[in-house]
C-alpha cells in the first residue's frame, strides 16, 4: 500500500499541489521520450483550508477562482466523481463552503517540464550576481508552453548561465522570470538570478514603480497628441483566448500615450506608458480606440500585415525603456533598447510614402504630464 500524501495547509491566495508517491503516478506516456510534454501527467493532491472572512459560496465557484488548471465544468466533474472532499466527505458542486472547511482535491496535472539549456543567442545589456537585463528579439517565446516546448528564452537563459542558478520564485518552468513580453514583442526585460532579487523586482512591478516605455506603429492617428486610455479589460466573453473591454470580469487598466510621428492620417508612431500591467493591455487599448498596432492579427485589422503597400512583418511593438531600483544596491537603473531593424525599416518606408508635414511632440521617456485631457472621455492622465 502506498503511503498517504502529507496534508498541505494552504492559504486561499496561493493554492499549491503536491505530487503523490511514485506508486500512484499516472504517466501514460512515460516511456515515450518524444511525447508532447503536456501529455505527461501525474496525480497530485491539493488541500485548502478556507480562511476566516471568506464569504459562503458554491464549492465549484470557489475552486474555479483558486485553481487555474481546471475549468469550472472540469471541477464539477471531479466533484461529482468523488475526487473532491470537504472535511473528508464527498459532496456536490453546489455545496456552500465556509471558513474553516478543509477542501481536498486529487487530480491529474501536467508533469513539470525538464527544461534543457539551448545555445540560443542573447543580447545582454547588463548582468551581475543578482540579475540580468536583455534585449529580447522578435519570434522568441519567453517560457515553455503548448506549441513551444523548446527554443524559448528560458532555454537560452539556462545555457547562458551554465552553472549559475536562476531564481526559483517563478517555479520550475519559469525560473527567473519577473515579467513577460509576447512572442513578437521586442525590447528590454529583466531576469532575476536570486530569489531576493525576484521578490524585490516583483514588488516594484506590483506597486507600479517600474519605469516602462513602449514604442509602437499604429493604424490611424489619435485625435489628440497625448492623453490616457482608461478602459477596464478582461478575458473576452466570446473569444476566450482574447482580452477586451467586452468582459464579465473587468479589471482597471490605464495606458498613457504620446504621438511622436504621423504618417498623414493613415498611421503614426506612439510612445506608450502602461500604468497597469494587464495581459495584452497595450494591444487591447489601442484596438479599442480604433488605432490598433500594425501587424497585430489578433487585435488589429483583417489585413494587418500591410500599410499602404508597406509590408509589416510582425506586431510593431517594442519595449524600449525599463527602469527599476536595483534589489541589492538600491540604486536606480535605466536601460534602453533601440528600435529593432524590422520596425525601423517599416518606419523608414512610411516616411518615404506618407510622412506628415505637421510637427509632433519630440520623443521623450517621460509620460505626458498629469492632468492631460483624455481624447476619449475616460478621465485624466496620470504619470507612470
Active-site pick, 60, 182, 271, 296: 182
**CA dist., res. 48 & res. 8, Å (int):** 7
- Give the C-alpha separation, 181 to 183, whole Å: 7
Is the Cβ–Cβ distance between 176 and 195 less than 8 Å? no
Tell which residue, 381, 349, 346, has the closest CA to residue 367: 381
The SS3 assignment for 86 reads strand
Residue identified by cell 502529507 is 6
Is 305 catalytic? The answer is no
Quickly list DSSP for 206-255: HTT-SEEEEEEEEES--SSSEEEEE--BEEBSS-TTSEESSBSS-B--EE
Residues 343, 186: Cα–Cα separation, whole Å? 10
Task: State the Cα–Cα distance between residues 214 and 275, nearest whole angstrom.
Answer: 12
C-alpha cell read off for 189: 526585460
CA distance from start to end of the chain? 59
Q: Are 103 and 86 in contact (CB under 8 A)?
A: yes
Q: C-alpha cell of 252? A: 482597471
What 3-state DSSP class applies to 63? helix
- Catalytically active residues are 182
Amino acid at each position: 500500500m502506498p503511503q498517504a500524501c502529507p496534508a498541505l495547509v494552504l492559504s486561499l491566495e496561493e493554492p499549491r499541489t503536491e505530487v503523490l508517491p511514485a506508486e500512484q503516478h499516472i504517466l501514460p506516456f512515460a516511456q515515450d521520450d518524444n511525447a508532447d510534454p503536456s501529455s505527461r501527467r501525474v496525480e497530485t493532491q491539493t488541500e485548502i483550508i478556507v480562511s476566516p472572512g471568506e464569504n459562503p459560496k458554491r464549492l465549484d465557484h470557489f475552486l474555479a477562482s483558486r485553481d487555474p488548471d481546471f475549468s469550472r465544468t472540469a471541477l464539477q466533474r471531479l466533484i461529482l466523481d468523488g475526487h473532491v472532499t470537504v472535511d473528508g466527505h464527498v459532496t456536490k458542486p453546489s455545496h456552500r463552503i465556509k471558513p474553516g472547511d478543509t477542501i481536498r482535491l486529487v487530480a491529474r496535472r501536467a508533469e513539470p517540464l525538464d527544461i534543457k539549456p539551448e545555445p540560443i543567442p542573447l543580447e545582454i545589456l547588463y548582468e551581475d550576481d543578482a540579475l540580468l537585463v536583455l534585449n529580447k528579439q522578435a519570434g522568441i517565446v519567453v517560457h515553455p508552453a503548448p506549441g513551444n516546448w523548446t527554443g524559448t528564452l528560458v532555454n537560452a537563459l539556462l545555457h547562458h548561465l551554465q552553472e549559475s542558478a536562476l531564481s526559483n520564485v517563478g517555479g520550475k518552468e519559469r525560473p527567473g522570470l519577473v515579467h513577460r513580453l509576447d512572442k513578437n514583442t521586442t525590447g528590454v526585460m529583466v531576469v532575476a538570478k536570486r530569489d531576493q532579487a525576484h521578490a524585490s523586482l516583483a514588488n516594484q512591478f506590483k506597486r507600479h514603480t517600474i519605469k516602462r516605455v513602449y514604442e509602437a506603429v499604429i493604424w490611424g492617428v489619435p485625435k489628440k497628441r497625448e492623453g490616457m486610455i482608461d478602459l477596464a479589460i478582461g478575458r473576452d466573453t466570446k473569444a476566450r483566448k482574447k482580452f477586451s473591454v467586452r468582459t464579465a470580469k473587468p479589471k482597471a487598466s490605464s495606458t498613457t500615450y504620446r504621438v511622436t510621428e504621423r504618417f498623414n492620417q493613415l498611421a503614426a508612431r506612439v510612445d506608450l506608458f502602461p500604468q497597469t500591467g494587464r495581459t495584452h493591455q497595450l494591444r487591447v487599448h489601442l484596438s479599442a480606440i480604433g488605432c490598433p498596432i500594425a501587424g497585430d492579427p489578433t487585435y488589429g485589422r483583417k489585413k494587418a500585415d500591410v500599410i499602404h503597400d508597406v509590408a509589416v512583418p510582425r506586431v510593431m511593438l517594442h519595449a524600449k525603456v525599463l527602469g527599476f531600483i536595483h534589489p541589492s544596491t538600491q540604486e536606480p537603473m535605466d536601460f534602453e533598447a533601440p528600435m529593432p531593424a524590422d520596425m525601423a525599416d517599416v518606419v523608414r518606408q512610411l516616411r518615404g510614402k506618407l510622412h506628415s508635414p505637421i510637427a509632433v511632440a519630440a520623443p521623450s521617456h517621460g509620460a505626458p504630464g498629469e492632468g492631460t485631457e483624455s481624447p476619449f472621455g475616460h478621465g485624466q492622465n496620470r504619470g507612470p
